[in-house]
A and B are shown apart, each in its own frame.
Chain A
């Protein structure tokens, strides 16, 4: 008997991963065609940035990637390199929370007039 690996089991037993949606809220003060972004930087990102809590305005439709790009333009290439790799994918060790929800994929669209983002780098070394 030569059972196929992809026949041996019912793959529907495992749900695909869940990507949280970016929380959205409308405060009534937003510009119709823009997203107002309040960024809070912590740890090394705050140390290397000229502003610890920059405010940005990003045109709609926007993704988190657009926000990070705008942040890079504001704070410089060295800052951006700590957040994303050469292909624009967020480093896993850069943790990004939108209104308290962790987001990994920068392609996540922003459906809001304003958002607050927290960013921090977590280090890697482990042992044992």
Chain B
């Protein structure tokens, strides 16, 4: 194999090289080697030198060639000539020059920035992880807080990332596959070809199963994770919290299994709670008090040895009756009996008891293990949740309840346990850069050392009268907001006296018309923008609402200095290596394609905020002298990448060095991977902070006519039903849900002909999975064309696939198929557009963290009957 030294994007006709870079067909962003022969990329493989993928590459990754070489790629800037925007409107595109396009865009942005920069909405796809910095900096420099990632986050992140951040200082959680003996997944597929560090985790999960790790998958459908599991536990859609809470109850109240020393030293379990459900605090220092069993008195938590902190008991402090929060939690859990949970989740009480016993026993509370000479707590169990359990109105408590299982037995960021993805880094050994470690707030609770943005999950910001159109400044536990596009968005903005309205959108690759909810709601929102520019590879359903479409470069034509950073997003957890790969262009642009990073720099220059953008890059990339960008210098994106790499890894390791080597890596230490015992922080098993947040939000919202349901702001988790659980309509007897198909990324990859072929060969990718017995009861048969109709009257058409592998009440639909854009002819008309069934309004949004409810109670009507 010829490894290329310094890559040229102007390949000579005789070249034959393997070039290290990074995939971007999904946000897993695995490291790749691309084989280029005579100027054509002929094969893509995983890069075995990298910790990101470890040489493995999934079917999507190897198929990336076909996305790049798709003849339907955009190659020229386009301007719409039809001023009308709508689902059935033809934009009547006209090719224009880049100069014309940039002149027009710059004139619009200049005007808006002078009027009120908040009128600009910046939106990007999450598929290209490296675009985070590009658009964060552009929005910050422009001066707008209105930044969104479309359906990404709204569907999969508002619960999972919030709680992973609060409890594990990381973006997501995963079992410590090398040492875990018992993993229970709640609607998650980590390690089974989806999500963060996907290829690395696939290998780790497979090795773990071969080693004998027992894996239980709780999910309405038995597919990618459950099919490989030791046990599949089908449950009613959206009821994960009921199961998890019942398991917690059994462990604590029936079996007496919990890790007392962990709860004393690493959580707020000993903090005293008063009758108002709040901490009892020291009158002067305001620190939370604990009960000191040695002195038999209350003291600030910093003044008592962890071993002397009472976890249970009733005490009187300054005339107030109080109990440790663990005592409150233990009492709270008693109502979640397995029999109660059976009614909610349909999982038998005996099974719930067994699962709780297995999890608690396998945790080996109290045990230690020696890793590379360091003695560490050993808790080889992990309860993992992600998109499935958290894509609901009740996502916050679903995820909180699942993660409580880990914290009750001390299985948090220690050997064998539930790990955050790399929450603690001691930095690069040569430069000390990239060092971050969780720290404690004044209440002793953990603050992440690193985050994707600067709005950390804990401590939450103070709620205020919102001015961001997504209202995250009011609903401070939310991240991505539905209120940019919801049917009641205008009502919301009026209610809170918004002084402006969004007028211009800059979109990067997001196909929000398909990725959020029903298309009519999103189309109405998009049509309302006075001007929209979209960077795209293809003409998607969403780009058809743009005024100008710009032809973007594919990942095989693009440069990014940080394709996988932050480490808490995509680097595999567990022992191994820290690894920083780059993405480099292997091929030149086709036609007039340009990489969006450079276009954004040029727009900033034309509009007149170059200094702001340079300052934003300095801030976002944490640039320090001598690598900080000068205020007034005009930089190319390659120069910025070079500066960032030198800033982090030393002057000798700039862009040229990385182009040659592809990545840099160094060894992880046990005290980085298993950081929890080393860092003096606590996590909340009792979310005391919820009460004041809820009260403050209510104080702002309720005088303006928006009732805040305070049951979402209780400090201990509960099962709260989704709208679908409350449906009483006769014949509406299925819960429709969608899952991430293993061969597809969001709505993007249906246009890829290899992946389309794989999906057509897969009996489920383009069909509706229905329980075979339930189908037969209704005289429904395999391959039958049906309407799936929601209680609100929305409907989608699809063919049934009868299977034993779905819950009797579930209807499983893969990914976000059902494209209708002529610009994606391979994708057009394939599969089922699940999101059409979803409502997009306050009633279907969590009033705590703004998760959108992604399930719908539906009925199934054969097409011939309906017609």
Q: Are B147 and A124 in contact (CB under 8 A)?
A: yes
Q: Are B141 and A42 in contact (CB under 8 A)?
A: yes
Of residues 79 through 128 on chain A, the ones whose CB sits less than 8 Å from some CB of chain B are: 81, 85-86, 91-93, 95, 97, 99-102, 118, 120-128
Q: Are A127 and B126 in contact (CB under 8 A)?
A: yes
Task: Pick from A3, A43, A92, A102: contact of B616, CB below 8 A.
Answer: A43
Q: Binary interface profile of A, 1-28, with partner B (CB < 8 Å = 1, else 0)?
A: 1111110111101110110000000000
CB distance from B321 to the nearest CB of A (A): 29
Task: Pick from B149, B266, B374, B679: contact of A126, CB below 8 A.
Answer: B149
Assess whether B764 is interfacial by the CB under 8 Å rule: no
In the bound complex, CA of A5 to CA of B611 (Å): 49
Q: Are A43 and B612 in contact (CB under 8 A)?
A: yes
- A128-B129 CB under 8 A given contacts A92-B455, A101-B624: yes
Q: Are B616 and A42 in contact (CB under 8 A)?
A: yes
Q: Binary interface profile of B, 99-143, with partner A (CB < 8 Å = 1, else 0)?
A: 000000000000001000100000000100100100011011111
Assess whether A44 is interfacial by the CB under 8 Å rule: yes
Assess whether A40 is interfacial by the CB under 8 Å rule: yes
In the bound complex, CA of A86 to CA of B569 (Å): 31
Q: Are B612 and A93 in contact (CB under 8 A)?
A: no
Task: Pick from B143, B151, B265, B435: contact of A46, CB below 8 A.
Answer: B143
Question: What residues on B are CB-neighbors of A5 within 8 Å?
Answer: 261-262, 264-266, 306, 377, 410, 677
Task: Pick from A9, A100, A126: contact of B677, CB below 8 A.
Answer: A9
In the bound complex, CA of A120 to CA of B147 (Å): 16
Assess whether B361 is interfacial by the CB under 8 Å rule: no
Q: Are B453 and A93 in contact (CB under 8 A)?
A: yes
Q: Which residue of B lies closest to A85 (CB)?
A: B462
> Which of B154-162, B586-594, B722-730 forms part of the interface with chain A?
B154-162
Assess whether B615 is interfacial by the CB under 8 Å rule: yes
Q: Are B453 and A2 in contact (CB under 8 A)?
A: no
Assess whether B814 is interfacial by the CB under 8 Å rule: no
Q: Are A128 and B265 in contact (CB under 8 A)?
A: no
CB distance from A53 to the nearest CB of B (A): 10
CB distance from B179 to the nearest CB of A (A): 15
Task: Pick from A14, A15, A127: contact of B480, CB below 8 A.
Answer: A127
CB distance from B190 to the nearest CB of A (A): 13
Chain A contact residues: over half helix, strand or loop, or mixed?
A: loop
In the bound complex, CA of A13 to CA of B612 (Å): 40
Q: Are A44 and B143 in contact (CB under 8 A)?
A: yes
In the bound complex, CA of A18 to CA of B427 (Å): 12
Q: Are A8 and B677 in contact (CB under 8 A)?
A: yes
Q: How many residues of A contact B (CB 8 A)?
A: 43
CB distance from A50 to the nearest CB of B (A): 15
Question: What residues on A are CB-neighbors of B366 within 8 Å?
Answer: 1-3
Assess whether B461 is interfacial by the CB under 8 Å rule: yes
Question: What residues on A are CB-neighbors of B113 within 8 Å?
Answer: 47
Task: Pick from A3, A102, A125, A126: contact of B470, CB below 8 A.
Answer: A125
Q: Are A120 and B612 in contact (CB under 8 A)?
A: yes
Question: What residues on B are CB-neighbors of A101 within 8 Å?
Answer: 624
In the bound complex, CA of A14 to CA of B156 (Å): 33
Q: Are A9 and B375 in contact (CB under 8 A)?
A: yes
Assess whether B177 is interfacial by the CB under 8 Å rule: no
Question: What residues on A are CB-neighbors of B137 within 8 Å?
Answer: 122
- A13-B140 CB under 8 A given contacts A44-B117, A100-B628: no
- A125-B437 CB under 8 A given contacts A8-B376, A97-B618: no
Q: How many residues of B contact A (CB 8 A)?
A: 82
Q: Are A40 and B615 in contact (CB under 8 A)?
A: yes
Q: Are B261 and A2 in contact (CB under 8 A)?
A: yes
In the bound complex, CA of A44 to CA of B615 (Å): 12
Q: Binary interface profile of B, 297-321, with partner A (CB < 8 Å = 1, else 0)?
A: 0000000001100000000000000
Assess whether B680 is interfacial by the CB under 8 Å rule: yes
CB distance from B417 to the nearest CB of A (A): 13
Task: Pick from A11, A44, A128: contact of B680, CB below 8 A.
Answer: A11
Chain A CB count within 10 A is highest, among B262, B410, B615, for B615
Q: Are B671 and A91 in contact (CB under 8 A)?
A: no
Question: What residues on A are CB-neighbors of B464 within 8 Å?
Answer: 81
Q: Are A123 and B153 in contact (CB under 8 A)?
A: no
Question: What residues on B are CB-neighbors of A3 within 8 Å?
Answer: 261, 366-368, 377
Question: What residues on B are CB-neighbors of A126 within 8 Å?
Answer: 132, 149, 153, 157, 161, 452-453, 479-480
Assess whether B152 is interfacial by the CB under 8 Å rule: yes
Chain B CB count within 10 A is highest, among A42, A125, A126, for A125
Question: What residues on B are CB-neighbors of A42 within 8 Å?
Answer: 140-141, 611-612, 615-616
Chain B CB count within 10 A is highest, among A14, A91, A101, for A14
In the bound complex, CA of A94 to CA of B68 (Å): 39
Q: Are A124 and B472 in contact (CB under 8 A)?
A: yes
Task: Pick from B266, B367, B625: contact of A1, CB below 8 A.
Answer: B367
Q: Are B619 and A120 in contact (CB under 8 A)?
A: yes
In the bound complex, CA of A92 to CA of B622 (Å): 13
In the bound complex, CA of A42 to CA of B461 (Å): 22
Question: What residues on A are CB-neighbors of B260 within 8 Å?
Answer: 2
Q: Are A8 and B375 in contact (CB under 8 A)?
A: yes
Assess whether B398 is interfacial by the CB under 8 Å rule: no
Of residues 149 through 205 on chain B, the ones whose CB sits less than 8 Å from some CB of chain A are: 149-154, 156-157, 161, 196
In the bound complex, CA of A68 to CA of B694 (Å): 30
Q: Binary interface profile of B, 254-277, with partner A (CB < 8 Å = 1, else 0)?
A: 000000111011100000000000
CB distance from B645 to the nearest CB of A (A): 18
Assess whether B567 is interfacial by the CB under 8 Å rule: no
Q: Which residue of A lies closest to B156 (CB)?
A: A128
- A43-B265 CB under 8 A given contacts A14-B437, A128-B153, A128-B569: no
Of residues 612 through 644 on chain B, the ones whose CB sits less than 8 Å from some CB of chain A are: 612, 615-616, 618-620, 622-625, 628, 631
CB distance from B704 to the nearest CB of A (A): 20
Q: Are B410 and A125 in contact (CB under 8 A)?
A: no
Q: Are B671 and A95 in contact (CB under 8 A)?
A: no
In the bound complex, CA of A17 to CA of B424 (Å): 11
In the bound complex, CA of A1 to CA of B154 (Å): 45
Task: Pick from A18, A86, A120, A123: contact of B453, CB below 8 A.
Answer: A123
Q: Are A121 and B140 in contact (CB under 8 A)?
A: yes
Question: What residues on B are CB-neighbors of A47 within 8 Å?
Answer: 113, 117, 143
Question: What residues on B are CB-neighbors of A18 within 8 Å?
Answer: 435
Q: Which residue of A lies closest to B436 (CB)?
A: A17
Question: What residues on A are CB-neighbors of B578 within 8 Å?
Answer: none
Q: Are A92 and B456 in contact (CB under 8 A)?
A: yes
Question: What residues on B are CB-neighbors of A11 within 8 Å?
Answer: 677-678, 680
In the bound complex, CA of A4 to CA of B435 (Å): 28
- A14-B678 CB under 8 A given contacts A3-B377, A124-B453: yes
Task: Pick from B126, B616, B631: contact of A128, CB below 8 A.
Answer: B126
In the bound complex, CA of A72 to CA of B374 (Å): 50
Q: Are A43 and B143 in contact (CB under 8 A)?
A: yes
Task: Pick from A43, A85, A128: contact of B141, CB below 8 A.
Answer: A43
Q: Are A102 and B628 in contact (CB under 8 A)?
A: no
Chain A CB count within 10 A is highest, among B196, B260, B616, for B616
Q: Are A127 and B153 in contact (CB under 8 A)?
A: yes
Q: Are A100 and B161 in contact (CB under 8 A)?
A: no
Chain A CB count within 10 A is highest, among B622, B678, B680, for B678
Q: Which residue of A lies closest to B470 (CB)?
A: A125
Assess whether B654 is interfacial by the CB under 8 Å rule: no
Q: Which residue of A lies closest to B623 (CB)?
A: A100
B residues sitting closer than 8 Å to A (CB atoms) are 27, 113, 117, 126, 129, 132, 136-137, 139-145, 147-154, 156-157, 161, 196, 260-262, 264-266, 306-307, 366-368, 374-377, 410, 424, 426, 435, 437, 439, 452-456, 461-462, 464, 470, 472, 479-481, 569, 611-612, 615-616, 618-620, 622-625, 628, 631, 669, 671, 675, 677-680
10 A-B contacts, Cβ less than 8 Å apart? Answer: A3-B368, A4-B265, A43-B612, A121-B140, A122-B619, A124-B453, A125-B455, A126-B453, A127-B126, A127-B480
**Given A9-B374, A126-B153: 20 more A-B contacts, CB < 8 Å:** A1-B368, A8-B368, A13-B671, A14-B424, A17-B439, A40-B631, A42-B616, A44-B140, A118-B619, A120-B140, A120-B619, A121-B145, A122-B137, A123-B139, A123-B147, A127-B126, A127-B154, A128-B27, A128-B126, A128-B569
